[in-house]
Amino acid sequence: MLGLAPAVLLTAFLLLIPLGLMLHESVQTYTPGRIGSDEAGPLTLENFREILTVSYLSYFTDTFLLSMIAAIVAVIVCFPLAYRIARLSGRRARAMWIFFLMSLLFVSALAKVYAISVSFGPVGILPYVTRAIGISQNSLLAIQGVVIIGLLHYLMPIVTLSLIGAVQGVNPRLLDASQSLGASQLETHLLITLPLCGRALLSTFLFATTLSISAFVIPLILGRGRVAFLSNLIYTRFGEISNYPSGAAFAIVLLSLVAAALACTTFLTRSRRRKAAA
Amino acid sequence: MDRRELLIGMAGGVAALSGIQPGFAEESGAVAMEWGTPYIEASRSMSERFGKLAVNFVPYEGSAAGVLAKIKATWPNPPFDFVDNWSAVFPALIREGWAQTVSVTDVPNLADVPEQLIAKDDKGNWKSIPRSKSGAGWGYAKGKSPIEIKKIDDLFSSNLKGQIALPGPTQNSGLHIVSLALAFGGNERNIDPGFKALADLAKTGNVGRVYNVFSEGVASITSGETSVTFTDASSLNTIAASVPFIPVAQTDSSMKVFLWTEGWVVLASSKKKKEIFDLLNFSISPAEARAFNSAIKASAANAKAGPIEGLSWLDIQGDESFKKFAYVPDFDYLSAQGDAWAKRFEAEIMPLLR
C-alpha cells in the first residue's frame, strides 16, 4: 500500500486541487466588465441556477445525445474491423493495420476537422446527400449529421485500437468448439464472441462517449455555430467574456453529469452480472 | 487566510515543489501579443527596421478579449510586455490597472495622433498608443450572394436562405447587434430592438453559420458556404483577396459603418518600458505608420501618415454623411456588456437557429 502513496499524492495534487479551485470559482460572484470573479463578493449559487434553465437544455441534449450516437456507431462499425484485425493470421499484416490506425491519431485534429468541413460543405458531397434524403443542407439535422461524422472520424481509430485487445482476449478455441458442436458462424458470434467482449464493448462505448462529450474543435467548426457543445460554452465563458464563475459552474455540471452517467452504467452492468451469476 | 488563499497557496506549493514557474517575458528582449497575418508580419518587419530591441511577437489565439484571461492568470508576471488591441478591450485593460500611462515625453510621435483616438483612464491619463483607425460593417460576396445588399431590410430577404455568416455575440464586441439596434430605433444602450431584429433574422432561416473565430467567418465566405457577413476591415481584406467582396457603406442610413481605434498598450508590469516606448514611437512615425497600415489595410492614426489606398468605404467625410452612415459606439459601455449579450444570444437567439 505504501508503494502507492506517491501516485495517490500526485493524483490528489493534480486532480483535486484544480477541481477544488474550479468548485470555489463556480460559487463566486461575477461583476460585468471585470475579468474573472469578484473576490470581495459574496458566495452564490446563481451561476448554477442560470445553467439549469430550459434555455440551455438544447446544449445539454446536443452534447450528450450526439456524443452517445457517435459512440454507439463507432463501436458498431469498429467492432467488426477490430475483430478482423485481431484475427489476421499474419503478424506483419496486423502490425501494419495497428500502425495505420495509430498514424491517424497523429494527424492534426484541426486539419481533419477542416477536411471534413470542406468535404461535407457546399462544394463537397453534402448538397447531394441532403437532396437525396430530402432535407435542406442548412437544416439542423444536416448539421448534426456532419458533427456526428466529425466525432466518428475522431473516435474510430481509438475505438478500433481499444477493441482489438478485447477480441484478442477471447480464446479462439471457444469459437472452434462452438462451431464443432453445430453452431453457425453467426450463432457463434452472437452467443460466444459478443458476450465475452461485452464488458470491453461497454467500457469502450463509455470511453468514446466521454471523449466526444469533451470534444471542442469538432462542434466549434462543424456545428456552424448552430450546434454547440457545453465545452464551447465553457470556452466562451473563460476566453471571450471572462466570466470565470459561470464557466467553472458549467465545467462542474458537465463533470458531475458525466460522472453520474458512468456510475449509473457501471452499477447497472454489475447488478446484471450479479443476477446472471445467481 | 480564506479558502481561496489556501487553495492558491496549495497550488503554488505544488508548483514550487515541481519547479514549475509562470511564464515571464524574455530576459534579453520583449514579448508582444499581436494579431495574426498580416499584422504580425508587418510588426516583425517594423521591429527589424528599428533594430534596437529584440521582440518576440506572439500571435493571438481566439478573440481580442482572450488576452485578458491570460494576463489575469499570470499577473503581476504576465508573459507579455505590450499587447495590440482595440477600442473595445482598452477599457478592461485600463480598469484592471494593467495599462501603463504614456505621454508625449515617452512617445513624441503621439503629438501627431488626434487626442480623441487615445484611450484614457478616469483621470484622463493616456493609456494607449494608437496606430490605426479601422472599422466594420456588413458586406457581401458579389456574384455569390443571390441579391445585392444595400439596406438592412435586405438581410431579411427570402432569397438569402442560409447565406448569412453571423458573427457570434462576442465578435467585434457585438457591433452587428448594435447595427441592427440602430436600424430599428435603438443603440448600444437600448439593445432590445437589436435582439428583436436578430430573433426575426434567425427565424427567416437566412443564417447559415454563426462564427466565433474570424478565420471561420472568412473561410465560410471564401468557400462559398455563405455570402453575407458583418466583418472588420482586416477580415474584409482577407476575404477580398479570394472573392470579390463589397462592403455596404454609404448606401443607406440603416447600414452604418462602425469606427474604432487599434493600438498598443504597454503593460505596467514590463521591465523594459523605456525601450518599448522607443520602439512604439518609431512604429507610429509617419513613414512606419504608412507602411504598417498599408499592409493591414487600415487608416493610420498618425495624421501625418496620409491616406491609405483601398479604404474609401471607411473614409466618410463631412458631418452630415458621418452622422448618416457612420457610428462610433461607447466602447467603455460595450466592454461591460459581453456577458449579458452572450447569455442573451445563447438563450434567445440560438434556439431559433435550430
Residue type, B42: A
Q: How far apart are CA A52 and CA A64, in angstroms?
A: 15
Cα–Cα nearest to B261, from B181, B202, B328, B348 = B328
> Which chain A positions have a beta carbon within 8 Å of B224's beta carbon?
121-123
With bands split at pLDDT 50, 70 and 90, how would you rate the model's confidence at A1?
low
Residue type, A185: Q
Cα–Cα nearest to A70, from A177, A180, A179, A148 = A148
With bands split at pLDDT 50, 70 and 90, how would you rate the model's confidence at A52?
confident
Q: How many CA atoms lie within 13 A of B153 on its CB side?
A: 3
Contact A225 B211 (CB under 8 A): yes
Higher local confidence (pLDDT), B152 or A275: B152
Write out pLDDT tens, residues B105-135.
Answer: 999 999 999 888 899 999 999 999 999 988 9
End-to-end CA distance of chain A: 33
- Grid coordinates representing A73 are 456507431
- Which residue has 478565420 as its cell numbers? B215
- Which of A63, A236, A244, A250 would you mutate first to test chain B, the one with the most B CBs within 10 A? A236
Three-state secondary structure readout of chain B: CCHHHHHHHHHHHHHHHCCCCCCCCCCCCEEEEECCCCHHHHHHHHHHHHCCCCEEEEECCCCCCHHHHHHHHHCCCCCCCEEEEECCCHHHHHHCCCECCCCCCCCHHHHHCCHHHCCECCCCCECCEEEEEEEEEEEEECCCCCCCCCCHHHHHCHHHCCCEEEECCCHHHHHHHHHHHHHCCCECCECHHHHHHHHHHHHHCCEEEEECCHHHHHHHHHCCCCCEEEEEHHHHHHHHCCCCEEECCCCCCCCCEEEEEEEEEEECCCCCHHHHHHHHHHHCCHHHHHHHHHHHCCEECCHHHCCCCCCHHHCCCCHHHHHHHEECCCHHHHCCCHHHHHHHHHHHHHHHHC
Contact B4 A39 (CB under 8 A): yes
Q: How far apart are CA A74 and CA A68, in angstroms?
A: 10
Q: How buried is A78 (Cβ within 10 angstroms: 0-12 exposed, 13-18 middle, 19+ buried)?
A: buried
Pair B139, B246: CB distance under 8 Å: yes
Write out pLDDT tens, residues A68-107.
Answer: 999 999 999 999 999 999 988 788 999 999 999 999 988 8
Contact B210 A123 (CB under 8 A): no
With bands split at pLDDT 50, 70 and 90, how would you rate the model's confidence at B22?
very low
Write out pLDDT tens, residues B297-342.
Answer: 888 889 888 888 777 788 777 778 888 999 999 988 998 899 999 9
Q: What is the DSSP string of A101-169?
A: HHHHHHS-HHHHHHHHHHHTSTTTTHHHHHHHHT--TTSHHHHHHHHHHHHHHHHHHHHHHHHHHHHHT
**Per-residue confidence (pLDDT) for residue B27, from 0 to 100:** 55
Average pLDDT over residues A112-122: 85
- Which of A23, A62, A138 would you mutate first to test chain B, the one with the most B CBs within 10 A? A138
- Which residue has 470491453 as its cell numbers? A200
The overall average pLDDT reported for chain A is: 89
CB-based contacts of B345, cutoff 8 Å, min separation 6: B168, B169, B177, B195, B198
**Per-residue confidence (pLDDT) for residue A185, from 0 to 100:** 86
Q: How far apart are CA A106 and CA B74, in angstroms?
A: 31
Pair B304, B159: CB distance under 8 Å: no
For residue A121, pLDDT beyond 90: no
Q: How buried is A105 (Cβ within 10 angstroms: 0-12 exposed, 13-18 middle, 19+ buried)?
A: exposed
Number of Cβ pairs closer than 8 Å across A and B?
A: 125
- Grid coordinates representing B135 are 472599422
Pair B265, B85: CB distance under 8 Å: yes
Question: Could you say which residues from 94 to 113 on chain B have a Cβ atom under 8 Å away from some Cβ of chain A?
Answer: 95-96
Q: How far apart are CA B69 and CA B92, in angstroms?
A: 11
**Per-residue confidence (pLDDT) for residue B23, from 0 to 100:** 41
Q: Which three-class secondary structure state does DSSP give residue A29?
A: strand
Pair A174, A188: CB distance under 8 Å: no
Contact A226 B168 (CB under 8 A): no
Q: How buried is A213 (Cβ within 10 angstroms: 0-12 exposed, 13-18 middle, 19+ buried)?
A: buried
Higher local confidence (pLDDT), A7 or A79: A79
Q: Which of A20-34, A192-206, B178-192 has the highest mean pLDDT?
A: B178-192
Contact A32 B62 (CB under 8 A): no
**Per-residue confidence (pLDDT) for residue B26, from 0 to 100:** 47
**Per-residue confidence (pLDDT) for residue A55, from 0 to 100:** 86
- Which residue has 495624421 as its cell numbers? B303
**Per-residue confidence (pLDDT) for residue A132, from 0 to 100:** 86
Q: How, if at all, do strands B164-167 and B228-232 pair?
A: parallel
Pair A152, A75: CB distance under 8 Å: no
With bands split at pLDDT 50, 70 and 90, how would you rate the model's confidence at B6?
very low
Among A50, A123, A226, the residue with its CB nearest the CB of B224 is A123
CB-based contacts of B1, cutoff 8 Å, min separation 6: B9
Q: How many CA atoms lie within 13 A of B325 on its CB side?
A: 21
| Distances B48 to A276, B134, B309 between C-alpha atoms, Å | 75, 25, 25
Question: Could you say which residues from 142 to 171 on chain B have a Cβ atom under 8 Å away from some Cβ of chain A?
Answer: 161-162, 166, 168, 170
Pair A44, A243: CB distance under 8 Å: no
Contact B10 A17 (CB under 8 A): yes
Among B7, B72, B336, the residue with its CB nearest the CB of A33 is B336
For residue B345, pLDDT beyond 90: yes
Pair B212, B174: CB distance under 8 Å: no
Q: For A60, list phi and psi in degrees, rounded to 5.
A: -65, -45
Residue type, A266: T
> Which chain A positions have a beta carbon within 8 Å of B12's beta carbon?
none
> Which chain A positions have a beta carbon within 8 Å of B96's beta carbon?
34-35
Cα–Cα nearest to B269, from B127, B81, B29, B69 = B81
| Distances B292 to A94, B132, B296, B306 between C-alpha atoms, Å | 56, 9, 6, 12
> Which chain A positions have a beta carbon within 8 Å of B163's beta carbon?
none
Q: How far apart are CA B86 and CA B88, in angstroms?
A: 6
Buried b (16+ CB within 10 A) or exposed e, A41-75: eeeeebbbebbeeeebebbbebbbebbbbbbebbb
| Distances A100 to A63, A105, A116, A165, B224 between C-alpha atoms, Å | 29, 9, 19, 16, 34
CB atoms within 10 A of CB B57: 19
The 3-state DSSP composition of chain A as helix, strand, coil percent (nearest 5) reads: 80, 0, 20
Angle, CA A269 vertex, CA A264 and CA A272 arms, to 5°: 125
Q: How, if at all, do strands B129-141 and B164-167 pair?
A: unpaired
Chain A closest CA to B12's CA: distance in Å?
10
Average pLDDT over residues B233-244: 90
Sign of the Cα torsion B122, B128, B133, B135 reads negative
Q: Which three-class secondary structure state does DSSP give residue A191?
A: helix
The overall average pLDDT reported for chain B is: 88
**Per-residue confidence (pLDDT) for residue B9, from 0 to 100:** 43
